Amino acid sequence: MRIVIAGGHGQIARRLTRLLVARGDTPIAIVRNPEHIPDVRSDGAGAVLIDLEKADPGALPGALSGADAVVFAAGAGPGSGVARKDTVDRAAAEALADAASHAGVHRYILVSSMGAGQEPPEDASEAFAAYLRAKTASERYLAGHEVDWTILRPGRLTDEPGTGRVRLDTEAPQGSVPRDDVAAVIVALLHEPLTSGLILEVVSGDVPIEAAVAAVTELED
């Protein structure tokens, strides 16, 4: 598969790239900073230089030409303000969905967050509340879009080594999950079309990732 990854220099994205390369897939990393191109190429990805916040929407479908799937793994980042939570975590995700439709790319994986889909907790900071609202808006937009989407909501992300075992379901308890395992789940979702139309939450657990993904396909029945 040829897979375009938005936010291609991010921590999950680079892990995802390396896993895809090992599997024989062809990842293409969308990056906005030219200084990041050598890094993603060293991981084995092709590179496309586009700032999704500022790009002409008409130019985006060309970046997806020939792709079998897209993954939105971009994010404004922990140091960003409220405005960029909207322009990156919502608007850029929506623009990529539109571009995928125009380019004829039918598979779309959105990396969201646990806590999306509902109002933020009252004690949430202004920035985190804006982040969750942006993710919720991007999920709703994608769910109404004509692509074969899957939404993945990870728990609190860590840099601990992956275990290859997770809890993956439509609802999961609050918890953490290594970025390694999130990337591995995305790979499995990309290669399992029966997960289309599902909103899934993932935290660390006891089930091997391939088995966990196979189990959630039964939710479509």
What residues act catalytically? 131
Amino acid letter, 52: L
CA nearest 82: which of 128, 120, 136, 113? 128
User: H/E element holding 4?
Assistant: strand 2-6
Q: Looking up tokens 């130019």, which residue turns up?
A: 59
Cβ atoms of 131 and 176 within 8 Å: the answer is no
Report the alpha-carbon distance of residue 205 to residue 165 in Å, rounded.
5
Report the alpha-carbon distance of residue 162 to residue 204 in Å, rounded.
9
The gap from C-alpha 17 to its chain's centroid, in whole angstroms, comes to 12
Q: What is the full DSSP assignment across 12-60?
A: HHHHHHHHHHHHT-EEEEEES-GGGHHHHHHHT-EEEE--TTTS-GGGH
Q: Residues near 107 by Cβ (< 8 Å), separated by ≥ 6?
A: 68, 69, 70, 147, 148, 190, 193, 196
- From residue 189, alpha-carbon distances to 50, 195, 199, 213 in Å are 25, 6, 11, 7
